[in-house]
Chain A
Amino acid sequence: MPADSANNSTSERAICAENVSLGYGDRTILKDVSFCVEQGQIVTVLGGSGSGKSTLMKGLIGLLKPTKGRVRLYGKDIFETGAEAWLEWARRRIGVLFQSGALIGSLTLGENIALPIREFSNVPKEILPEIVRLKLEMVRLGGYESYYPAELSGGMKKRAGLARAIALDPKTLFCDEPTEGLDPVISAEMDNLLMELNRVLGITMVVVTHDLPSIKAISDWSIMVDGEARGIIATGPPNELENSSDSRVYDFFHRIARPVNSERR
């Protein structure tokens, strides 16, 4: 969604960043970033290494407080209320897939997925194992309930992390580099999985990635951030961005190496 319409009718939109600046200490990573994500969309956040993609995601999920501006989830400013109230409100609305899966190593996959369900819902103990089985089957890990994360491959860990992220049926899912380090076949499988979850469950998704095939496969809309510009340099469907006149965007999509200290066209 273009940045200029970010301030209009934000309540029905899943996410809206309004003039958000993010940084660590005195160091500003992103400055005056504005965009909105419509419900049911898959939006990819693109950019090179160190461009601020993951920082932006941290700002959107409430892990990093903006130094300026505000982030709205379903119309609600996530930093307006106290932390406790926000967590209570958010836990059923957002799920996060971390880069490494971030599974708890001392728990089995079943226990990892059961953890948020047991903690934040009142489902009876007879139904809980069935939900865990369903979630694992959704990510094609049916039968792996008793396995520990250390016994799984990288791709399986990511899928298990996804199962935990969607354990409570969130309305919005944030994914940090879901295909990073996976082979092309597993990457494509992960893409299909995200698209199916979006299509069948209607989950809105914000996917931080720089995996080109993945961007082209899953994105309804893309937002490209740049480290030097400290903000968004392009937004739009990936097939439009691919032919952008901005050399930074064009080079990214066509994997063109830029010589050191080169002039931009």
Chain B
Amino acid sequence: MGRGFPFETGKSSEGELLISFTTPLTYETAAEIWQSVSTLASRKENASLVLDLSAVSKVDSAGAALLRSIQGLCERKGVRLRTQSIQPPIKHFLEFLEREKPKKDKPSPPSGSMLERFGAFLIEQAAEFRDFARFCGSVFAVMAGSIRHPAKFRWAESFYYLQLAGSNAMTILFLIMFLLGVVMTFQAAIQLRQFGANIYVADLVSLALARELAPVFTAMLLAGRSGSAFAAEIGTMKVGEELDALSVMGFNLPEFITLPKVLALMIAAPLLTMWANFAGLVGGIAVSSVSLDLTPYSFMYEVYTTIEFSDIAGGLLKTEVFAILIALVGCFRGFQTSMGADSVGRQTTAAVVSGLFLIIFADAILTVIYYFLGW
């Protein structure tokens, strides 16, 4: 037997396998003992075991768990087990641990078949959609009330969020849209140059920006920056019971919490979209001037002759719809937060994911509507 091995083996007077521990049963020794004893208990010739604790001076929680685990293993293997010569302090400690009988853990939810789980998922999604529709209804109702009594509206709060969502996002939006303009112009130029139609790069870039890319990219930025921020802010307020405090003080939460955020995004989104259009065109002009032999004047003149009011207005209308959806879903996810910091994180993520989905969904619907209206 190697030096410092945690136990010695022998035979008891009744011929049982006797395991005499020689070291304390602690966190440090538990792994080695478990490995050896579990191997011994698994051998067929060892039908009964005796654990001798006479030389054990200390047992900690890991040691107690080790003894329980050995007991459980022996029960499973059909090995008879008994312990002997436990010193009084250790016996006292083990009795202290045994005084509370374990209760049954909470039942795990039934897993069900794949079809059942898919059905449950659909029901859950339908319930969520119903709750979102109700939430939107409550916000629109208070919005109507605020239009009738504008003096009661919390304008200062709205301007605060307007600054956060609007002016603070201008730099990053400019950078994104400028680079997008550069990429689009290069991509278009590769194709159009083959036909000597360089000048139509301006038409393509400006139309794509005004009708589609500027509203969608602005909305995506708002969903990532502002929708998530709204969800996190409201979620944290819920965890801190601030929402409950406001409710019992008699505040209407959709009016007090949600409406200023919705209005801020409704104002910020079209302004940012115009800014995005400008940034994209600057990118396009920069590439056209350097690589396509187009002067900034000829580029802008082409844009002026191509773009109609309906292109700009259609894009701004889209962005307005996106803004309302982003603000509403961000606030809705915030209100859905349950207790705990992890829930805030989950709902913040959900706010971004739902926001992006709603942007694309609404974009598809509006594009179809525009097509039939001839816009």
Are A134 and B31 within 8 A (Cβ)? no
CA distance A140 to B96 in the complex (A): 12
B65 partner residues in chain A, CB cutoff 8 A: 123, 127-128, 130-131, 133-134
Are B31 and A122 within 8 A (Cβ)? yes
Q: A105-B341, A123-B30, A150-B338 are in contact. Are A138 and B68 (CB under 8 A)?
A: no
CA distance A196 to B93 in the complex (A): 11
Does A9 touch B at the CB level, under 8 Å?
Answer: no
A104 partner residues in chain B, CB cutoff 8 A: 342
Q: A123-B31, A124-B34, A130-B69 are in contact. Are A140 and B61 (CB under 8 A)?
A: no
Identify the stretch in B98-106, B317-325, B360-368 within 8 Å (CB) of chain A at 4 or more residues.
B98-106
Q: A121-B27, A122-B31 are in contact. Are A143 and B105 (CB under 8 A)?
A: yes
Does A183 touch B at the CB level, under 8 Å?
Answer: no
CA distance A42 to B280 in the complex (A): 69
B97 partner residues in chain A, CB cutoff 8 A: 134, 137-138
- Nearest Cβ in chain A — how far from B288, in angstroms? 51
A128 partner residues in chain B, CB cutoff 8 A: 65
Query: B68 is contacted by which of A130, A143, A146, A150 (Cβ under 8 Å)?
Result: A130
Q: A123-B30, A137-B100 are in contact. Are A105 and B106 (CB under 8 A)?
A: no
Are B100 and A200 within 8 A (Cβ)? no
A133 partner residues in chain B, CB cutoff 8 A: 65, 102
CA distance A201 to B72 in the complex (A): 24
CA distance A106 to B340 in the complex (A): 8
- Nearest Cβ in chain B — how far from A163, in angstroms? 10
A200 partner residues in chain B, CB cutoff 8 A: 92-93, 96
Are A127 and B34 within 8 A (Cβ)? yes
Query: A138 is contacted by which of B62, B72, B100 (Cβ under 8 Å)?
Result: B100
Does A148 touch B at the CB level, under 8 Å?
Answer: yes
- Nearest Cβ in chain B — how far from A138, in angstroms? 7
Nearest CB in chain A to that of B95: its residue = A200
Are A147 and B106 within 8 A (Cβ)? yes
- Nearest Cβ in chain A — how far from B38, in angstroms? 8
- Nearest Cβ in chain B — how far from A119, in angstroms? 12
Q: A105-B343, A150-B339 are in contact. Are A144 and B105 (CB under 8 A)?
A: yes
Query: B105 is contacted by which of A126, A145, A201 (Cβ under 8 Å)?
Result: A145
A142 partner residues in chain B, CB cutoff 8 A: 100-103
Q: Which residues between 90 and 148 of chain A lie within 8 Å of chain B, taking CB atoms?
A: 92, 104-106, 121-124, 126-128, 130-131, 133-135, 137-138, 140, 142-148
B339 partner residues in chain A, CB cutoff 8 A: 105, 150
Nearest CB in chain A to that of B30: its residue = A123
For B197-227 the 0/1 string (1 means CB < 8 A from A) is 0000000000000000000000000000000
CA distance A17 to B69 in the complex (A): 42
Are B64 and A134 within 8 A (Cβ)? yes
Listed residue (A92, A135, A137) with the most chain B CB atoms within 10 angstroms of its CB: A137
CA distance A123 to B73 in the complex (A): 16
CA distance A201 to B61 in the complex (A): 10
A121 partner residues in chain B, CB cutoff 8 A: 27, 62
Does A211 touch B at the CB level, under 8 Å?
Answer: no
For B34-56 the 0/1 string (1 means CB < 8 A from A) is 11001000000000000000000
Query: A146 is contacted by which of B30, B72, B100, B106 (Cβ under 8 Å)?
Result: B106
CA distance A1 to B296 in the complex (A): 84
Nearest CB in chain B to that of A137: its residue = B100
Are A150 and B343 within 8 A (Cβ)? yes
For B244-258 the 0/1 string (1 means CB < 8 A from A) is 000000000000000
Query: A196 is contacted by which of B38, B72, B96, B108 (Cβ under 8 Å)?
Result: B96
CA distance A155 to B149 in the complex (A): 47
Could you list 16 further interchain pairs (A-B, Cβ under 8 angstroms) beyond the known A143-B103, A146-B105?
A: A105-B339, A105-B340, A105-B343, A121-B62, A123-B30, A123-B62, A124-B34, A130-B66, A130-B69, A134-B61, A137-B101, A142-B102, A143-B102, A143-B104, A166-B61, A169-B60
B residues near A, CB below 8 A? 27, 30-31, 34-35, 38, 60-62, 64-66, 68-69, 72-73, 92-93, 96-97, 100-106, 108, 338-343, 345
Cβ-closest 9 pairs across A and B: A143-B103, A105-B340, A106-B342, A130-B65, A142-B102, A150-B339, A131-B65, A137-B100, A150-B340
